[in-house]
Chain A
Amino acid sequence: MKAVTPVPVSFPKPMQTPHACCGCLSRRHCLKLISTAAAGLAFSGELFPALAKSRKADPDYVDPTRFRPRPKVCLDAAILQMPRPYWLGWPGTTYNLDQRQKEYRSLLRESCRRLAIQLHEEDKPIETESEFASFIKGIGERKPDGLLVILQHMNCWGWANRLANEASVPLVVFAPIGTSFTGHVAGLSRQRGVYVVSSLEWPAVEEGLHMIRAKRMFEETRVLWIQGKDRNETVLERLGTKVRAIPRDTFNQLFDRMPVNEEVKDVASTFRRHAKRVVEPTWQDSLNSGRTYTTAKRLMTDEQANAISMDCLGMVNAKLIPTPPCGAWTMFQDMGVTCGCEADLFGATSLMLTSYLLDRPGYMNDPVAETVKNRLIAAHCVSGSRIAGFDQKPAPYILRSHSESGLGVSVQVLWPVGAVVSLIRFQNPNELIIDTGIVERNIDTPPAGGCRTSVEIKMNDVEDCRDVLGFHQVVTLGNHRRIVEAFCQMYGITVIHSPEHSVRGKVA
């Protein structure tokens, strides 16, 4: 289960991927901001650990944190109760309504503040049919992005069901223990457009708010699809993400003009300095990687974009760029900005899901079956390093070349052995694969070939590694099956799992 607002005991030291003092803050101010972010007290673009920028004021400097979408998110919330005083019937006479409601209102306001959600809260609990009708009418007028109701009596479930069917707004239902039986929850909790929390765990309610925010982030995202020769813009069904296709040459032509400036040198040196080891990349490779980073920032700025999905392999194959963008993409991933490989648009949207919903990067992988040990090997040359969360200590990484070409800067991120990971993949906007497994080891290249970040995973609930579904599934740290499934249910996305039992049969 995902920890919603991680609160580290201490500030992680040392910083292994660089952070930026964007805006030339004082060191003291900078540390204050980062500490605030690390404490989980605020989590906005300004507070991302970001890359070093030029020490000189550069008029062309592009602040990378601006790319992460910051949508306006509106939530309507109400407490549903029955007229007082309570007698028999749950939650019962001894349930302190005022105290509980005060507590939940406070938690709700704090969650909304933390997630930058605009809250429209009903001042008084709704307890009559006419008040409920007025609430529904208000929802229709305000058209919020999401709806939260806190149930304070077992007889309020009828209203919750009506909201699910009539409000046409994603609905979070919080039923603290003592306000439901299984029969109340069983149906509604499985209904499309609804997320039911029957628990005392407020963080689970906040997860619902995360889902609403993540969906709005998808809607606010314009992904640059850099491939082919066409220039156009379309929109993904259900997710609402804008896809701006631009000709592939746009990138390499801009790269050719991109100077080696102070920022590029800073990026190159910082990325090298924080690496556990540098194997192949030369200083010139690192400078080129830094230029890829500044090129991508400039292009996203010019195109009003928030993310990239690029035909990188095609460009390397055509020898249009001296380095694949792997190193730069790693840096962006760590800042919560999605940059995906091989123009795989749904690989990129899968990366967005881990970034927007789980607040952490991952990596899209080429899946390999290890048939002796029955393990899945997930390999690629790009991986975020802040795999435990954008505000958490990064994983160690080794700077390598891009394995297939031997060019430029790539990373081998060392994933924690024994940790649970999730593999997530949008097949299309209506269908998503999710599986989980446990990291057993990091595989080095050599002796292996393939890609630099290469992780051996023992799959959970998949008998045979050959049956793992998908390609370019995004590997992300933690078991996120429950929240991802809930997100999919909320927004009408069909969830698929790899087959639990191996299918053995006649093979031609």
Chain B
Amino acid sequence: MLHACRLGALVLLVAVRGSAEVAFTSPGLVPSRMDDQGCLVEDWGLISVKLAGTGLPPTAPVAVQEIKLDGRIPAAQAQSQQGNVGLTVTAFRAPVWPAGLDVLTVRLAETGGQETPVQLSLVLPETTQAGSQTVSIAGRPVLGLPAGLAPARTMREWGWADEAMALPGWARPAVECDPAFRNIRAGIGGVPITYRFKVEPKEKVDVVLGFCESYWAQAGQRPVICQVEGAPAQEVDAVARWGQHQPGAVLFTAGDANGDGMLEVAVLPKPGAPDQNPILNAIWLFPAGTRPNLNQVIAGKLNAAALRYVAVGGTNDQSLVAGGQVEFPLKLPAGGARELTFLVACRGSSVPQAGPSAWTLEKLRQSAAAVWRDWR
């Protein structure tokens, strides 16, 4: 009897899990896979799609199968029915030069004939850092969020809130200084570098920004505009002020000017500058009126006295948004459906930084179909 029960349970398990994992790729590239639970497995971690909502069961059986999109493109598809919501997760490899990108489409269909509010979650590794349009892990953008759809976010007390890229070890300071000067975040493509810090509403603080330019030897190539809330904007040309590979710091007498309890620090490219990629190495926040000695700040001797010390692009840096999960509150109309598309980094690739990407879902699929059509 016990044996029969175990056998029955096993049969049930097989039935609810559907087929085994499915691998998919583009010609000549390393495959990604969807596991038997419908999770996308990448070299940087696993993406799991979860659905929650009033009246919806917490879990549902998942059937994973291999399909061909447009009759040609190998893809993996997971389907489940949670109450009156059908969930279909489809993934295929788009042949984006140079290493490809996975395209994850999540389709939610209301089948019960009544409007249903749901919360769609993408469960990600805890170490992920969410920006406004992409999610990164160790500085590598790994997930592109759908345009025009803001996810619900859990905010931290401070962190970056931009689409800049962390480049640890990029700078090579020629003198002894705080280790923060070895790392940067860079706004590739002219993206502003933006940090936000929780402060008391209207609180005043002294802010020090640290720079070390190790690419340009010549002044005038990468001047940046520093906008620290409550302080006049300052132009900083690190090579002109301190020279190549020389750490330097700039003080701002700042404060929460708009009274929202957050202090914003931004570094932007100077319009018309030859290099439009702003960089930043370090941030210190000191109590108002400290007027810290900048040489000591550069030497790292005042870190303990700082309210905040950020090695930008370094080990203590973080996103303003807590990682681990991206959530989308959605309302499904009666009998209607919603579809969300995410770009996902696969082995050897990163998702495009925010900017004027020409890729659309239609073009990605057309490209995949064209490549498979002629491949032999």
Contact = CB atoms under 8 A, between A and B. Distances in A.
A235 B28 contact: no
Contact of A235 (B245, B274, B371): B371
A233 B356 CA distance: 24
A340 to B, nearest CB: 15
Interface residues of A, number: 28
Interface in B338-369: 352, 355-359, 363, 367
Interface string B91-107: 00001111110000000
A503 B245 CA distance: 18
A492 B174 CA distance: 40
A236 B97 CA distance: 5
Contacts of B355: 430
A186 B374 CA distance: 44
A131 B27 CA distance: 46
Contacts of B264: none
A234 B371 CA distance: 7
Given A242-B371, A508-B244, A508-B245, A232 B28 contact: yes
Contact of A506 (B240, B367, B374): B240
Contacts of B219: 503-507
Contacts of A230: 28
A237 B371 CA distance: 14
Q: Which residue of B26, B356, B358, B370 has the most chain A CB atoms within 10 A of its CB atom? A: B358
B221 interface: yes
Contacts, number: 88
Contacts of A430: 355-356, 358
Nearest to B371: A233
A503 B221 contact: yes
Interface in A457-508: 467, 469, 492, 494, 499, 503-508
A507 B356 contact: no
B96 A234 contact: yes
A243 B358 contact: no
B84 to A, nearest CB: 34
Nearest to A430: B356
A6 interface: no
B27 A507 contact: no
Interface residues of B, number: 36
B174 A235 contact: no
Contacts of A237: 96-97, 352, 357-359
A488 to B, nearest CB: 12
Q: Which residue of A230, A235, A503, A505 has the most chain B CB atoms within 10 A of its CB atom? A: A235
A233 B358 contact: no
Interface string B128-171: 00000000000000000000000000000000000000000000
A234 B95 contact: yes
A508 B174 contact: yes
Contacts of A245: 28
Contacts of A238: 358
B74 to A, nearest CB: 14
B32 to A, nearest CB: 14
A232 B25 CA distance: 11
A250 B354 CA distance: 38
A505 B26 CA distance: 49
Nearest to B272: A499
A29 B375 CA distance: 38
B374 A222 contact: yes
A327 B26 CA distance: 35
A429 interface: yes
A242 B239 CA distance: 41
Interface string A190-218: 00000000000000000000000000000
Contacts of A504: 218-220
Interface string A226-257: 00001111111110101101000000000000
A261 interface: no
A508 B217 contact: yes
B45 interface: no
Nearest to A501: B220
B243 interface: yes
Interface in B28-79: 28-29
B256 interface: no
Contacts of B28: 230-233, 245
A236 B370 CA distance: 13
A469 B240 contact: no
Given A503-B274, A505-B218, A233 B26 contact: yes
Contacts of B375: 233
B100 A508 contact: no
Given A235-B97, A503-B220, A505-B240, 18 more contacts: A222-B374, A230-B28, A231-B28, A232-B28, A234-B97, A234-B100, A238-B358, A242-B370, A242-B371, A429-B358, A430-B356, A492-B356, A499-B220, A503-B221, A506-B243, A507-B244, A508-B217, A508-B244
19 contacts: A222-B374, A232-B28, A234-B26, A234-B98, A234-B371, A237-B359, A240-B367, A242-B374, A243-B97, A430-B355, A494-B356, A499-B220, A499-B274, A503-B220, A504-B218, A504-B219, A507-B243, A507-B244, A508-B246
> A-B pairs with the 8 shortest C-beta distances?
A505-B219, A232-B28, A503-B220, A508-B244, A238-B358, A234-B97, A235-B367, A508-B243
